[in-house]
Structure 1
């Protein structure tokens, strides 16, 4: 059950990131940071999807671990954009809050899966 929820949330987050990228790159004319957040933000859901099709429990954990790293990287780029006044507090919160929720969910799934492995 958790995996389908995380797949849905990470896909919705990827949509938000793509829309953010489109608007941000057009309005701010900033392409380096915006591409970084586009890559990491969409990679979260892609790796969750790969995890759901894992060949083993260890492969599942590995793919989710990549997704966890990408989630954290996305939060880093958001924090950087906010700290350098590229985005407003509202824009920051609207993306950081779901990113944190996804990150916590992924960590929980990894911990639960690992404990079943022992």
Structure 2
């Protein structure tokens, strides 16, 4: 049974894919598109793997990877916004990625075996 976070992560991946299709085809956007597609789709894929974890440590590890990937995705979103701040849909995706960072950070911090607190702080936005 799919939980709400799984649905959000899946939809987030779909939304990123759709928005990437609208980016220009210049060399710099090709690099950004490739990177953001990899990281954004990896977030949900790793969280899906976490659902079948064989131990708490395995679960925490997969959630930790999801957290790293959503943070990377947030970085690429911020670059897209900084290049062209007229990209309103990207601002919506940035907001969602910030919320997902908080959620995944909280889950990871509660389940991590070593209890090392990982920052789920939202990155400072580019002005």
TM-score of the alignment, normalized to the shorter chain, above 0.5:
yes
- CA apart distance, 1:91: 2.5
What TM-score, normalized by structure 1, do the two folds share?
Answer: 0.85
- CA apart distance, 1:89: 4.8
Aligned position for 1:38: 37
CA contact (8 A) 1:68 1:103 kept: yes
CA RMSD of aligned residues (A): 2.0
Are residues 1:52 and 2:51 paired? yes
Give the total of aligned pairs: 111
Aligned position for 1:100: 98
Are residues 1:23 and 2:9 paired? no
What TM-score, normalized by structure 2, do the two folds share?
Answer: 0.79
Partner SS for 2:53: coil
Aligned position for 1:74: 73
In 1, distance between residues paired with 2:87 and 2:102?
22
Relative contact order, higher structure (CA 8 A, sep 6+) = 1
Which structure is higher in helix share?
A: 1
CA contact (8 A) 1:6 1:106 kept: no
In 2, distance between residues paired with 1:89 and 1:19?
13
Aligned position for 1:12: 11
- CA apart distance, 1:112: 2.2
